[in-house]
Chains A and B, each alone.
Chain A
C-alpha cells in the first residue's frame, strides 16, 4: 500500500528556509485560500506555516554542531490526530497515506493539535480551521504540470537536495533506499505514531590515508633501475599517465 512521505537529509540541510517560503507561497496562492500572515512588516509578526526550519546546537563549544531541522507534518501511519477529531475532518487517505484536513467539516476545536506530539498542525486564525502540510496533494496529481513539477514545493525549492519525496513502502523507491542505506529514523518513536516522514542522520565523510598511498610500495624503476619500455605490450601500471 502506498505511503507517500518526505525524507529530510540533515546531513545537507543548511537552514536556508527556501522550503518554508516556497511552501507558504504555494499554499497562499493555491485553491485553499491564503494562509494567515499578520503584521508581516510590523513589530510582532505572526502567521500560519505548514513547514518550519529550526536550529539546534548539538554538543558544547568548540565540539559542537549546528543542526538545521525542517519539520512539517510527518503523515504518520498511526496518526493520533485522526481518531480524536469529532467531525471527521481529519483523515488519512487510503490510496496514498496523506493525512489531510477537510476545511468544510473542521470546527476549529484544536483537539487534533493537542493530540499531535510534533506540533505540526496550526490553527489558521482568519479561517478558524486547522491547517497542516498537505504533501502538496494539489500538485502531485495535477497532470497540467510537468512531471518534474509534480512534486511538493518544498522538495523542488531545496537548493541542496535535502528533501526527498516518494513512496516509503516501495522498497525500490529513492526514499526507501535512502532510509534503508543511510539509517533513516522517525521522530519520537516512543509516542507510537509511526511517522512516515523519516530523517537521515549526519554522517562523517572519512578516508583513511595509509603510508603506502603516499609512497608507492612497489616501484619498478627503483627495483631494476631501468626506464619502462613503451613498445612492449604488457600490463599498464598507474605510474604511467598516458
Chain B
C-alpha cells in the first residue's frame, strides 16, 4: 500500500495525544486512591491542553487524505458496518470528553474523575476503532491480525507516556520519574509486540495467487501487459514505490528510533526536560517510520494484475 503522509501524521499525532491523556488520567486516579503524589490541577490542565493540541493537529492532517472534506460529516452514517464510521464517531466524542475534563479541572473539580473515566473509555474505543480500520480488511493479510489494534494502542500509549514525562519535566512535576518508568515499560511492550508482528508477516503465505486471480490453474503464468503504459490509480495507491533497500533501512530506522533509542534515552539519560523532550522527538520520528513501514508492508492482491508493461 502507498503510505500517505497525511495518514501517517494523523495516526501518530492522535495516538500520542490519546496516550498522553491516558497517562495523565492514570496519575490522577492513582493519586485519588493514595498511590503517588497528586499531579496538581495546573499540570493536568496543561497536559490535557497538549493532548488536545495533538488531537487537533491530527484532525487537520486528516483533512488532506480525503477528497471531499466538506462532506466529512456524512462519514458517520454507516457505523453499523464500517470501522471508519465508528472511528469518526469516537473521535469527536473523545475530543469533547477531553475538553470537558480539562475545563473541569478548574470549573468542576469534583467531576474530573467521572469525566476522565468516560473519556478514558472513549480513548480506548478510539484506539480500537482506528486499529480495526486496518485489521478488518481480511484481504490484506499483513494487517488482518489482532496485533494491529494492539500495537496501535501500545505505541500510542508509549509515545503518550514519553510525552507525559517530557511535560512533567518541563513543568517540574514530581511525577516525572513515574512517567519515565511507565514510558520504558510501554515502549518495551510495544517493541515486543511490533517485532512479533514483523515475524508473523515474514512467514505469511499469500492466499491469493495469479492462478486464482485469472482462474487458470497453470503453474506458469506471467503478465505481459497491464493494459496501459502510463500509471493509474491502481499503480499509485497500492504500492509504496520504494526499493527493497529503502524498505529495510526504514525498518531498522523505526526499530531504533521508536524503541531502542528512546529506551536508552529514558533509562540512561537524566530526567531533565531537554533529555526527555529529545526522547519524545526521537520516538515520534521513529513512530512515523513505523507507520510508513506498516503501510508499505501490506501486499494488496490487486497488485497481481499490475505487474508488467509490455
Contact = CB atoms under 8 A, between A and B. Distances in A.
Interface of A: 17, 20, 39, 44-49, 52-60, 66-67, 69, 71, 80, 82-88, 105-111, 113-119, 122-123, 125, 127-129, 185-191, 199, 201-202
21 contacts: A45-B229, A52-B227, A56-B223, A59-B218, A66-B224, A85-B82, A86-B75, A106-B68, A108-B68, A109-B84, A111-B133, A115-B139, A117-B139, A117-B301, A118-B305, A123-B237, A129-B67, A189-B212, A190-B208, A191-B208, A201-B216
Contact of A56 (B207, B222, B238, B302): B222
Contacts of A111: 82, 84, 133
Contacts of B214: 56, 67, 69, 187, 199
Contacts of B33: none
A105 B81 CA distance: 17
Contacts of B233: 48, 113, 122-123, 125
A55 B224 contact: yes
Residue of A49, A57, A86 ringed by the most chain B CB atoms within 10 A: A86
A169 to B, nearest CB: 21
A20 B225 CA distance: 14
Contact of B216 (A58, A60, A189): A58
A47 B68 CA distance: 20
Contacts of B232: 46-49, 122
Interface of B: 1, 65-69, 71-72, 74-78, 81-85, 88, 133, 136-140, 207-208, 210, 212-216, 218, 220-234, 237-238, 300-303, 305-306, 310
Contact of B84 (A17, A52, A84): A84
Given A56-B224, A188-B212, A114 B140 contact: yes
Given A39-B230, A56-B222, A113-B237, A107 B306 contact: no
A107 B234 contact: no
B215 A107 contact: no
Ranked nearest first, the 8 interchain pairs of A and B with the lowest CB-CB distance are A108-B67, A119-B302, A128-B67, A83-B81, A52-B227, A45-B230, A86-B75, A86-B85
A54 B237 contact: no
Given A54-B226, A56-B221, A185-B215, A87 B78 contact: yes
Given A46-B230, A86-B78, A86-B88, A191 B139 contact: yes
Given A48-B232, A80-B139, A190-B212, 9 more contacts: A55-B227, A56-B216, A56-B224, A82-B81, A108-B68, A116-B302, A117-B300, A125-B233, A129-B67
Nearest to B1: A114
B223 A55 contact: yes
B212 A187 contact: yes
Nearest to A116: B302
Nearest to A68: B225
A95 B95 CA distance: 42
A84 B224 CA distance: 33
A234 to B, nearest CB: 54
Contacts of B216: 56, 58, 67, 201-202
A118 to B, nearest CB: 6
Given A105-B74, A201-B216, A57 B208 contact: no
B302 A107 contact: no
A188 to B, nearest CB: 5
B72 to A, nearest CB: 6
A179 to B, nearest CB: 12
Contacts of A190: 207-208, 212
A107 B71 contact: yes
B139 to A, nearest CB: 5
B301 A54 contact: no
Contacts of A202: 216
B231 A55 contact: no
Given A116-B302, A188-B208, A106 B67 contact: yes
